[in-house]
Chains A and B, each alone.
Chain A
Amino acid sequence: MSGALIIARYALQEAVRRRVILVVMFLTICFLGLYGLGCWVAFDEVTGVAAGTGVDDRVLTGSTLLGLAMFTILFLGAVLAVFLTLGAVRGDAERGLLQPLVVRPVGRTSLLLGRFAGAAAVCALYVALVYGAAVVITGAAGDWWPDRGVGAGLGLVLAVVVIAAISLLGSIFLSSTANGIAVFMLFGAGLAAGLLGQIGEALSVDTLENVAKVSSWLLPFEALYQAGLHGLTADTAGLTGVIVKLGPFGGAQKAGGWLWVWTVAYLALIAAGARAAFARRDL
């Protein structure tokens, strides 16, 4: 078995056995329970309210609720990604956990790659499962299904994987606490930039739109999230389509093919930067 796979297995074991996973699972079950309750109540209350307005209340309700769920899943996924990686290098080195592993002949690059693969696998599986559950709950409650559900879920999964990569890179330079704070501040900044971009687009303010564009390049998880939101109602037309595209917590934005290319390139750049920094780091 290659060094990276051994470390990835170790990271997976760690993720499963540490209490953080129990906390996340508990929060997730609470969230899905509340979400299910909210869906049933919302669809029940809203049915027929928009009759004669040209707005499909079922689509509006379903996409808004699932958009809200996606934001929550993004947040929970980000929490998981950060907690699994925030102390992977400097934090573990300060605690004396890393040195016995680094001395082994697997090499630092394999160690980083394994830690990333383990964290990314856990986060991706978690986000995919919770997103899938939210889609099923929404569909069961209101008989509404997203237009491009798989693409929306993929955007969400990739967004969390990017956050895990950023957190792992940060763990080389910062102590655990500082890294956790820094990544969550970046997470908040990315979401805020997305909102500003939405406002800028609505009001035709170039500066705000440019801020959003630059932040999308620097922190592509926001663009991936917006692309995911867009996938929920990508094929919805008319007045309903216009309204739902505003979305909750950051508007939906159609992403071109370059976003996916850039995401892959971005992850490669982070990997190269992390490899170079870790190779030079004294432990």
Chain B
Amino acid sequence: MPAALLCESLEKRYGAVVALGGVDVEVAPGELLGLLGPNGAGKSTLTKIACGLVRATGGRAEVEGSPAGSAEARAAIGYLAELFRFPDWLTADELLALHQDLAGSERGEHERADLLELVGLGDAAETKVGAMSKGMQQRLGIAQALVGSPRLLMLDEPTSALDPVGRRVVRDLLRDLRERGIAVVLSSHLLSEVELVCDRVAILVGGEIVAGGTPAELARPRGVEVETGDGVRTFPAATRDEVPRIVADLVASGDEVYSVRLLASTLEDAYLEAVGAA
């Protein structure tokens, strides 16, 4: 089975400005990849090339084995842009119907109702886009991206306008999509969100991937913290294997041990380290 998304040595230049400088990315079917990076790192450019909105100047990008931008590739993709707008004169139901027509979906009213229910807009089918809050429009955008049952979902900052409840709905939705074998590429500045849902993370800086791996791989051990009768003691160089010995030594020396905690850097630490080092 071909990769949901495959980018090899992908380049994009705008004159002298390098937006992407030879990026390699592979997303397996059903995998959830988080794209992290500061503003201008190339996340949106990578997403747009995959969607056929921007032409690469070098390398190649494929969606399910078809060149990015081809009709076959676009038929497999659902996309929500970071900066998007829908016609304010359409209702939510009409917007989804338009995208059903464009995507060739024949699931009709049933699909529209399901998608609106899925993003918490079940009661807003007849509400015009112009009368919706930014958060509602973002939910509608996610529903729009899911029209036609795409096999690769490209989401660029999909939760930027959502409240905590809305973000949780989207997180649950992403997990559900993964279980259904749909690959997702999620660009976000919300590191905690990425850490919670993504299988793998790629950190882009200056158009290049400077770090990648699972959130657990990116989070490095940072020692052991022991709560004793004399207070909290930290052993920065210690590893998990050394915990029994540390506890035994403390007890032997007369300390009372109440709890032991393994310290590890968070994805945020890894991100700041990668961005700072680049």
Contacts and interface: CB of A to CB of B under 8 A. Distances in A.
A105 to B, nearest CB: 4
B161 interface: no
Interface string B144-162: 1000000000000000000
B171 interface: no
Nearest to A18: B89
Interface stretch (A34-42, A91-99, A162-170, A179-187): A91-99
B104 A100 contact: no
Nearest to B72: A105
B75 interface: yes
B271 interface: no
Contact of A105 (B83, B89, B103): B103
A282 B51 contact: no
Interface string B59-78: 00000000000011011010
A151 interface: no
A280 B55 contact: yes
Nearest to A280: B55
Contacts of B74: 103-105
Interface in B139-191: 141, 144
Given A14-B89, A97-B85, A97-B87, A103 B51 contact: yes
A100 B48 contact: no
Contacts of A51: none
Nearest to B84: A96
The interface residues of chain B, by DSSP majority, are classed as mixed
A264 interface: no
A174 interface: no
A203 B68 CA distance: 61
B144 A100 contact: yes
A107 B71 CA distance: 7
A17 B130 CA distance: 13
Contacts, number: 65
A17 to B, nearest CB: 4
Interface stretch (B1-9, B94-102, B229-237, B251-259): B94-102
Contact of A14 (B83, B87, B99): B87
B80 to A, nearest CB: 8
Nearest to A102: B53
A280 B103 CA distance: 23
Interface of B: 48, 51-55, 71-72, 74-75, 77, 79-81, 83-87, 89-90, 98-99, 101-104, 141, 144
The 9 A-B residue pairs with the shortest CB-CB distance in the complex, in nearest-first order: A104-B102, A105-B75, A17-B89, A96-B84, A283-B53, A96-B85, A282-B54, A103-B79, A105-B74
23 contacts: A1-B101, A3-B102, A10-B98, A13-B90, A17-B89, A95-B85, A96-B84, A96-B85, A97-B84, A97-B85, A100-B99, A100-B141, A102-B52, A102-B53, A103-B74, A104-B74, A104-B102, A105-B72, A105-B74, A106-B102, A280-B55, A282-B53, A283-B54
